Structure 1
Amino acid sequence: MEGKINTCGCTCIRKAGNGDCEEEKCGFEYSSLSQASSCPIPKPPQWAPLLQIPYAEFRSAKTDSNTFPDLPDASCRSEGTCPVTVLFTGNNATLGKALTKNMFPETLSIDKHDIMGSLATNVIGTDELTSAVNYIDPAFASPSPLYSVQSRCTENPVTPIRLKVAPVAMKKVILCVEGLSLWRNNSSEINDEIYKGYQDGNSKGEINEILSAYDFQNSDMKHFNVNVWYNSSYSEDDGRSAISLSRVPRSLNLASNAYLQYMKPGAQMPFEFTKEMPKGETKISIDLSSILGTLFFTWVTLQLFPLILTALVYEKQQQLRIMMKMHGLGDGPYWLISYLYFLTISVIYMLCFVIFGSAVGIWVMVLELYPGFALYRGLYEFGQYATKASLLGMEGMKWADLSESRNGMLEVLIIMFFEWWVLLIVAYYIDQIVSSGGAKGPLFFLQKSRANPPSFKTAIISMKRNGSEVFVEIEKPDVHVRVIYSDPSFFPQRKKVEKLVCEPSDSHSIICHNLRKIYPARDGNPEKLAVKGFNLALSPGECFGMLGPNGAGKTTFISMAVEESLKSVNLFHGGIADKQAGKYSGGMKRRLSVAISLIGDPKLKARYGGLYVFQMTTTVDHEDEVESMVKGLSRKATKIYQISGTIKFEIPKGDVRIADVFQAVENAKSKFPVYAWGLADTNLEDVFIKVARRAQGVDHVLDCEAEKVGVYELKRGDFSVKFTNYGATMLSAILPDKNGKLSDIVLGFDSPEGYKNDTTYFGTIVGRVANRIGRAQFHLNGTYYQLVNNDGLNMLHGGYKGFSDVVWKVESHRKDSHVTFTYHSYDGEEGFPGEVHVSVTYMLIEENKLGVKMEAKALNKATPVNLALHTYWNLGGHDSGDIFSHNLQLFGSKITPVDDELIPTGEIKSIKGTPYDFLQPREIGSRFNELPHGYDINYVLDGTSSDHLNKVAVVQESVSGRKLELWTNQPGVQFYSSNMLGHVKGKGGFVYSNYAGFALETQGFPDSVNHPDFPSQILKPGETYVHVMVYRFTAN
């Protein structure tokens, strides 16, 4: 803070002759406006009192929103001749008109010997704004002219003057401006006119500013009562910075002088000057404790949360609550102990603040005893009062300040008090329905209470003994356990099993009927009855467990159940059950897998399965023939593994019959060597790999969410484009039509929140590879890469977590120039190799031109890169309906045809004469009936080069007159007519249906990684990918 701008201005007094500096003088006369506040001013200068003159282009005139007939025509604004308007009213119109007539002189009278005094006797104003202090009046220090308000201006309204303030000489020009006094019937009319003259007070956004207004009320020859209106917005009172001075005194003096002259001609109340208070030299300093205190206190207080989190994780790891339940304790003791522990830690934590704060006199820290003050808002209120106290030499926040209207601390206290209890109840509720060691239903609190209330001890509801039968129900607050020990006389369970045996159904997964197991006598010991007539029926989804002492027969029963499963697939007899599974033959292993599948059917397999896994081992030279054979069985087959002649494929079960696979293998054996092969169902290991791969992506999403999501606008004139760093997305583009009406021509949502988990890719940057990659796989430099398939078996726009679904870093932003977003894509993201640093810059170029520059640099591995901007346009306005009437000319004479899954076939085909031919302008909907689903195809652009920009397309909409022209340096453009949009609720609640917008996505060719004849999109380490687009918008 010691720079020249924050110190008093100085000048050097030179010696006569050699010109050396003899003396340095400092003072406000040598200072700029920003330096003057630092200078010592023992005798502040006197300044003539001035009026605040409205800017010429905003002076009140007759417009659509301001229709008073006595106002001047709005054409005076362009000529700069509009008068300044003074409104007046009162009980006596004659008196009011007489007073306002005396306010403004007919001529300007200047005394050359007392220029400043002459300015005080005339009615002088300025359009320069004031500052918080008046040591130097900006009206005299700036090059702006002064204005003499007169009842009528002469033909030569320009008067130059020279004046001297202290040792500073100034040259100014005084321009004449006419003062127009207009009568209004009452104060309500004045209020209405002033309100409508405010920019936000009318629908047109027009400004009609007056000089001042007077209500003389009941003034007469004996009384003088007047109310004065003035523009308080010039004071810039935002509640945070110092308030600027208002030029109100001269307006009051005009009314007083006019009344005196009315009472006695020639009488006046002179207002000679305005003057600041003397001051010593000041140094600008910053109270860092007030500015950063809020942030530091928040950081320190937040350190409590890792402690609480550690305790919760420790409980989960050590299963403390389950151990407590095993010892007969419920949730009450755990909650009580945990709450008291955390409360004690918090109190000690805050007491440290109070003790150390009290030592240095920071009594405000006593308030920190209340836990809710960890919130930023409470600390922010403290920071505001501390800053105010530092600047004005006052005290900080006091208890009495809680009643101030601008103080939000009272609301914070009330909110946090209720929040304390609400969160406590919600935490307990969530704990009860998602609990360690048991859970209740969501509406457990509505259940009728038991006759015997739950306690920490086990409540035995009923116990009956009848021979060897024992039936016990154990009930706890959140655990219900049924324990059954039965023999053949246990009628209910045996009856249920016998009924199921006689009437087979799929209602139960496991049925055991009258199981018995007797171990024979051995070594002189008698026979051992391990299981005696055991009956059991378990339904799907039921969690079954067995409790009992040693020797009760638990393990014996499980062995018997497994034995039956192995017998059902002939894996038990002949000593097979005693062999290690690893020593089984291939066929025996497959039969073992069948047995395991009969025992359990995990839901994960049902969700991620639905596939056969086909594996074949051959020589390296015949790998391509194996792949061709599998593709012949199913075009949707996906290669998941390949190394040294061993290849694995996933084949959808609906695409192939097992008999066809056997026949294909038999045929293949006659063509090339087959060392081994197998066909199996999806196993849990395959499921785990898929789930783990997706889980890795989720972790990185959470890391990126640390970057704050915001909205960033680029605006020049009436052209405004907004973006968000979530997906580097274009949110809106607002520009006028041929009639000057502004509309948003980009489809999307009202806020960045709408774009999260969106599948339409509205306005986003898509990548690492835009469009589709067939079978979500490719080979690069001898390595096979399996990507995340998010479009059936294919990858679309970079996978589930492509560049459109991450938070980008905002590198730089200037509202009138550009905004740049960057993103670091990690190695293995969605299956792609190598790290890539990506940046996207949106920039305003000339008038109504938007440039887009996408760059990517491979850091450590070769990788495919093909970025695209996926904006949906509708030149009639985002809510104007379909785009069939848009005229399109697209400068591409060929396309890359696709199959049923929209994957390029590898051909490059001419479009001449087909519905895809837009070489000559025509309406998009003109040949729509010839296409089954609309346009979604990549055009091969004519004459493109990465070294310069080439024109891509021209789109025009006749009703609005808007036209879009597009240039790029890419070889292709995907034209998409939003065929699969469905019904998406977008901006303002408008529902976007199919064909509500069109997309022109300049790009490399889709699936080029799998088509060597297409232009390569492979980026090597150190190389930089550059993709440029330029939009130009006009309206005719």
Structure 2
Amino acid sequence: MRLEFLKEMPKAAIRVRLDLTTLLAALFFTWTVQLLLPVILTYLVYEKQQKLRLMMKMHGLKDGPYWLISYFYFLSLSSVYMILFVLFGSFIGLDIFRLNNYSIQFFFLFIYINLQIAFAILLASLFSSVKTASVISYIYVFGSSLLGEALLKLFVEDASFPRLWLVIMELVPGFSLFRGFYELAEYAASGNHKGKSGMQWGDLNDPANGMKDVLVLMSIEWILLLPVAFLLDHRPAWHPLFLFQILSTKHSSPRWRLDKSKQSFSTKIFADMIKDDVFLERKVVKRSLKEIDTRNMIICHNLKKVYRGKNGNPDKLAVKGLSLALSKGQCFGMLGPNGVGKTSFINMMIGLVRPTYGTAYIHGMDLRKDMTEIYENIGVCPQHDLLWGTLTGREHLMFYGRLKNLTGAALIKAVEESLKSVNLFQCGFGDKSVNKYSGGMKRRLSVAIALIGNPKVVYMDEPSTGLDTTSRNDLWNLIKRAKKECTIILTTHSMEEAEELCDRVGIFVSGNFQCLGTPIELKARYGGTRILTITTAVEHEEEVARLITELSPSATKIYGMSGTQKFELPKREVRLDGVFGAVAAARGLFPVQGWGVADTTLEDVFIRVAKDARAFDVLS
């Protein structure tokens, strides 16, 4: 019989069901879960970039509690995210969530979020910029997902591809996540087609199922990444190139010996030129270490800091054998030009850098051995305000107050008093976020943070910078009250502030103190002159100079312009009544438009000492 055409026999209608799981596949779900990585990483890098973690450490927060709290915070955040992720997928009817065993899904996601947190902590130790960390993390998130879809998926479906290489590729957390979702999607599609459930615990023993390998691999990697992240976080002591640094140091030792020999001549000259007050301070330090109880004192004994030269540059001796003894109730001021070693000294005292030689004792605790205990007893007001922009002033003080072991009513009372003391209690400023504060308000909050909890020692780096006159005077009064119960070391460029607050002052130049004493002692010792200022017509300048020379042969003209002249008159030659007599005589000879006489200020002493020290450095 001749066949003219073909025709299908009638059959039951097939209901076509659109499965979003097939369309989205593992790629979309891998993206969704990995988007938590940039969030965690930028949070950790932000605290490091803004030096907030450093600020917390200086106020007593140890590394262990910091990482433990951070870890469980991120774990809680990730767990809520994963639960909502699975529930929402089940609610909209996605087979990958609806058909597969929920306990397998949650176990798989729980292992992965722990691995992801450990991976973020590892990456955070490698970045110091939030922008860089954010860009790199997003490249990783989308790159690993796309490579999983384009590369890993082909290898998984290729039965001839070696399984060992698959395991090696899945060491990348993003690939492990993709492989897990791929297996869940395959079992969900198979169960939907056959009308059965998806992946069950018994299916993990199937050789074709890679979920078991993924779970084991992620668990091992999670456990191993945590100690590696810890070591990288402390890489100043455990740097990967530590061995090469040792070898380079050995090879460079002849240069170091040569540098030391060159420095020996300068050291000898320096020892010969050392001021009596600095030499006396060293004797006090030595005697204190032997005879006096150091539990209520700060003693710096021969502190030195050498920064090793790089790329052929010589070593930099930033602090040259500094010795200092301070007792409770003193406010000590460090004065000095920029770049002379003040910051290096402060950084050694607060544990940011380790002394090359020498040590310091903070109320009986050794700087080299007991830094953890020292952090619990100090307060720090850094030069730049280290604050969280989203927190209020009250929340800052509550947080740092807890670090100082304040709780309950004592904490609330201390916070209220701190806000009032720095004028942040009025108008509800204490309950506003810090990003709404002015520069002066942030500065006052930083001072309040340094003083909360009654620390034994407080370090302040230019505390009144940016404050108006009224706020500055209020802050000075606060510091005066606080120093009765603690020892304060502050740096400042304001001579008025140093005279107002400091019981003792040290002028720090070229890595060491050039002089030590009270402001009155320093002015008497280095300012044995009076400054006479007189203004006349230009044609009478020579007559004025002649009268001053007759009054004091050792007088020095230090300024002269358009008839205005300044003369430095030694006190040993000229009494104050003699100056008045000379001005009266000048008035009898020619018109005097204005005149004035003043004693040497602390600023004059500072300028003179700094110039002498620099001149000595040039000669040596």
What TM-score do the two structures reach when normalised by structure 2?
A: 0.31
The structure richer in helix per residue is 2
For normalisation by structure 1, the TM-score amounts to: 0.20
Largest Rg, 1 or 2 = 1
Query: Which structure: greater strand fraction?
Result: 1
Structure with higher RCO (Cα < 8 A, 6+ apart): 2
